[in-house]
Amino acid sequence: MQRGTFQLMKSVNKSLVLNKIRTFEPISRAQIAKETKLTPPTVSSIVKELIEEGLVIEKELGASQGGRKPTLLYVNSSAFYVIGVDAGPETIRCILSNLSGEILEQSSAIIQKPITNQAFMTMLKDGIHNVLQASSVEDDKIIGIGVAMHGVVEVETGIALFAPNLELKNIQIKAELEEAFNLNVKVENDGRAMALGESWFGGHANVESMVAVNLGRGVGAGIVINGKLYHGAQDIAGELGHMIIDLHGERCTCGNRGCLQTFATGSAIVAYAHKKIKGASQDADTAETIYERAIAGEQEYIEVFQEIAEIIGIGLTNLIHILNPDKIILGGGVMNSREIMLPVIKQTIHQRALTGKAKETQVEATNLYDNATVLGAISLLLIELFNPV
């Protein structure tokens, strides 16, 4: 039997109570009963089971409401551990995390291209071996491996169907890792994994629907509804980068013209600056150097980011009109220039969205920075633990 395949939750109610503790800890039994509409005896019985299983612990006493002080409940972060992998397109990063998303061990390696499927899988296995060897965690406390993979992923089989920046196809990630480590393995597209990481660890507990958008070397997005990823009929939901903005624009890697990705990536910003600003090709050859010129106060470079931000705002307005999410989170390297771009993005949405409430859709930059995707990878396993039903 594979390690990491287990069923600790025996009922919808048990899952509901555990997730309530995870989301709102510290919390009392009485508060759980009030918010879940379960009877106090039912909550007490479930909490007793969770404590016996080591998933929940009692810590300090809460404030008295006129009677005996309630004990407060927390998830036991050290009950189990998860391996998370952020795979590609330029590096492979592996972490070992507890249930609270605290990174205990990590390793990182640069992908040397061109690379074969076999060499790529060797790098994955080596990274996982490295974090396991560096850790003193007992094997039976590791519940699985989550992989956030660049490109198109067939989630059910865990196969990376196409990784365009690596020029690889049909990588058997799930099957090979399960054979190598005897652990349950979940594989997901990196953009969707980022959204899950934001949902679980980004401080958005009361948000029913959100979209996380990764603006970096490409443009991807993940849609989370009631704590779960939305994949679409053929596993391509969230391909925001291939929303067409300009029918006559630059050719995209997908073959179409004028996709959002041709405007909103680091390389696209460089190309736009070189086209717009005389001499930029010599003085600013990366998005980072263009940003440095902008924050130094050079107006032409500021305008580059502002104009790109307006285009991103148009894409997000289209997204709002289709999905109408409660919140949009923006991450990726492009959002390192958030102080210039975010106000323009919000202004564009406010100018173009259909209704007053749509105009006020919450749009924020990530506070997880580079950890959002790898934390999303571990969340692929945490969903099975906290929401198995």
Give the domain CATH number at 135.
3.30.420.40
Q: How far apart are CA 2 and CA 181, in angstroms?
A: 9
Residue type, position 378, single letter = I
Please state, in angstroms and as integers, the Cα–Cα distance from residue 162 to each residue in 117, 159, 195, 254, following that order.
11, 9, 20, 12
Indicate whether 217 and 291 sit together in one domain. yes
pLDDT for 243: 94
C-beta neighbour count of 177 within 10 angstroms: 25
Report yes or no on 233 lying in a domain. yes
Indicate whether 101 and 69 sit together in one domain. no
pLDDT for 388: 54
Report yes or no on 54 lying in a domain. yes
Report yes or no on 1 lying in a domain. no
Question: Domains in the chain: how many in total?
Answer: 3
Indicate whether 358 and 218 sit together in one domain. yes
The percent of residues in the chain predicted with pLDDT above 90, rounded, is: 70
Indicate whether 338 and 257 sit together in one domain. yes
Indicate whether 150 and 279 sit together in one domain. no
Report yes or no on 6 lying in a domain. no
Q: How far apart are CA 58 and CA 156, in angstroms?
A: 37
SS3 353: coil
Indicate whether 108 and 248 sit together in one domain. no
| Entry pTM | 0.85
Indicate whether 59 and 133 sit together in one domain. no
Give me the CATH number covering residue 24. 1.10.10.10
Please choose, from the candidates 298, 274, 277, 300, the residue with its C-alpha nearest in 3D space to the C-alpha of residue 286.
274
* CA torsion, ordered 245, 248, 251, 252, to nearest 10 deg: 10
Indicate whether 16 and 42 sit together in one domain. yes
Indicate whether 162 and 275 sit together in one domain. no
Indicate whether 382 and 357 sit together in one domain. no
Locate tokens 């989630």: which residue? 155
The residue among 28, 57, 75 that closes a domain is 75
Indicate whether 175 and 283 sit together in one domain. no
pLDDT digits (tens, 9 = 90+) for 3-55: 554 454 457 788 889 989 988 889 999 999 999 899 999 999 999 999 998 99
pLDDT digits (tens, 9 = 90+) for 142-151: 999 999 998 8
Please state, in angstroms and as integers, the Cα–Cα distance from residue 98 to each residue in 67, 77, 81, 212, 378, following that order.
35, 6, 4, 23, 9
The residue among 49, 75, 101 that closes a domain is 75
Report yes or no on 209 lying in a domain. yes
Tokens for 334, please give them: 């492009």
Instruction: Estimate the crossing angle of helix 173-181 against helix 117-134, to 10 degrees.
Output: 40
Report yes or no on 2 lying in a domain. no
Indicate whether 239 and 329 sit together in one domain. yes
Report yes or no on 339 lying in a domain. yes
Q: Which residues of the chain have pLDDT under 70?
A: 1-10, 62-68, 388-389
Task: Give the domain extent around 27.
Answer: 12-75
Report yes or no on 4 lying in a domain. no
Q: 16 Cβ partners below 8 Å, 6+ apart? A: 36, 38
pLDDT for 43: 94
